[in-house]
Amino acid sequence: MFGYWNPHVERMPIKDLHKLQEERLRTVVRYVYDHSSFYRQRFREAGVEPEDIKELSDVTKLPFTTKIDLRNTYPTGMFCLPQDWVVRYHVSSGTTGKPTVVGYTQGDIDMWTDSLARGLTSIGLGRGDVIQVSYGYGLFTGGLGLHYGAERIGATVLPTSAGSTERQIELMQDLGSTAIACTPSYFLYLNEVAKKMGVSIRDDTKLKAGLFGAEPWSDETRRRIEVSTGIKAYDVYGTSEMSGPLCSECHLQNGIHIWADLFLIEVIDPKTGEQVAEGERGELVVTTLDKWAFPLIRYRIGDLTIVNNEACECGRTHPRIMRILGRTDDMIIVRGINVFPSQVESVLMKIPEIGDNYMIIVDRKGPLDVMTVKVEVTESAFSDKIADLMSLSKMVSQQLKGVLNIMADVELVEPGTIPRSEGKAQRVIDNREV
Ligand code: DLL
């Protein structure tokens, strides 16, 4: 039931996998040096030549690349092939700066699709399944990425894209969707709308699995989704620079399998740039091993995670990354203390009276930072007496203090009042920025 898409590669002995990575690393380093003036110049500045890269550990001799490089070379200055090799572009929304452009050869699309096919197969999906793709289609990679992956495994795709939620729920019932792919926040919203329509995801649909990603979420949210809808909620990860959604958890739900034949990953201390010890949290750095229009060398993704190199009980030997805490640039510093929205979410989602939606608002009052956590309560808690709500608010504030080490004002609001999003949820409003 939980099979392999490419058993030879997915279960490859570690020694062989490392040998393959080493060969591919040497090839890609030589390739970018020969094909890109950007990389050639970077390597020269760092005093490194392709011949210096002999084994895997030599990767640390190579310079890092960052989103700033991508922006500075906008639109396609980091590409290694001319446009007539490129069969598709995707473009980031540019919410945190200038948009960035990524491009793919036909082979790059195949690699991306295959990588998703491995993940979809690992959670038991295949021919006979109907996969509703509710990630946005278009310049964002989510929709088309999952679409191609789902078709590759022989499933039927229902390409609803994001939005028109009532229609999505009707189609889910009429066409018998067995899996859905969307952001976790959108799925929570969809479940809310379904309830209002009198539809139970558990009893009135065939849905059994969700592929949730594109934004940070927590194990507590996973539990909520699974308990309230009866489906299995799997984490799927990727970034447009790596291709798009790429890697996911297997049926054991214990970390995201990163395909080592396709990507060489490192975890570094964001301050020093040095690799951290195994099991320590740090910033994910990626070198692509089989991507040719737009390869990446030591690209600092910015996501904070922990790598587990032990083979998984599912039989796959590739490393796993543990749930993403957030991006280094998602971190808010409140009164000198680092706060990640995902930490706030973990606390809130453990409290049964608290609903699924929240916002973090940071203001500066005089010299002081003030953090307000605005959170919806459930319908039943909302009808409680004022005194009960006040003690709930105090309890939430204490629990947040216990985890974050900082006092937050907690504002309980009526269910349905925090804006919903169809894609990535915006959880933080920082009014301190000018
Ligand atoms: O969000 C690709 C994607 C689409 C992944 C659909 C999964 C599903 P970008 O728009 O470039 O690409 O955003 C990438 O989103 O660096 C993370 O900060 C965040 N992110 C993606 N997946 C997860 C996840 C797509 N599972 C950025 N958990 C990444 C936490 C995630 N954060």
Buried b (16+ CB within 10 A) or exposed e, 355-373: bbbbbbbbeeeeeebbbbb
pLDDT at residue 384 in the model: 77
Where helices occur in 230-312 by DSSP H, the ranges are: none
CATH number of 332-433: 3.30.300.30
User: Which residues, other chains included, contact 250 with Cβ-Cβ below 8 Å and sequence gap of 6+?
Assistant: 2, 119, 122, 123, 257, 312, 314, 316
pLDDT at residue 434 in the model: 52
- Residue of 217, 239, 301 with the most ligand 1 atoms within 8 Å of its CB, for mutation: 239
Q: What number does the ligand 1 atom closest to the CA of 213 have?
A: 26
Closest C-alpha to 286, from 241, 322, 236: 241
Q: What number does the ligand 1 atom closest to the CA of 146 have?
A: 6
Topology match between the domains 1-327 and 332-433: no
Tokens of 143: 């929709």
Q: Is any atom of ligand 1 closer than 6 Å to the C-beta of 324? A: yes
Return the domain boundaries, the chain. 1-327, 332-433
Residue nearest to atom 9 of ligand 1 (CA): 239
Q: What is the pTM of this model?
A: 0.96
Residue with tokens 């690699």: 111
pLDDT at residue 433 in the model: 67
Q: Is any atom of ligand 1 closer than 6 Å to the C-beta of 396? A: no
* CATH among 3.20.20.120, 3.40.50.300, 3.90.1570.30, 3.40.50.12780 for 1-327: 3.40.50.12780
Taking the chain (434 residues) in runs of 10, the rounded mean pLDDT of each run is 95 98 98 98 98 98 96 96 98 80 98 98 98 97 98 98 97 98 96 97 98 96 97 98 97 98 98 96 98 98 96 97 92 92 95 96 92 95 87 96 94 95 93 76
Say how many Å lie between the CA of residue 386 and the centre of ligand 1.
40
3-state SS assignment for residue 66: coil
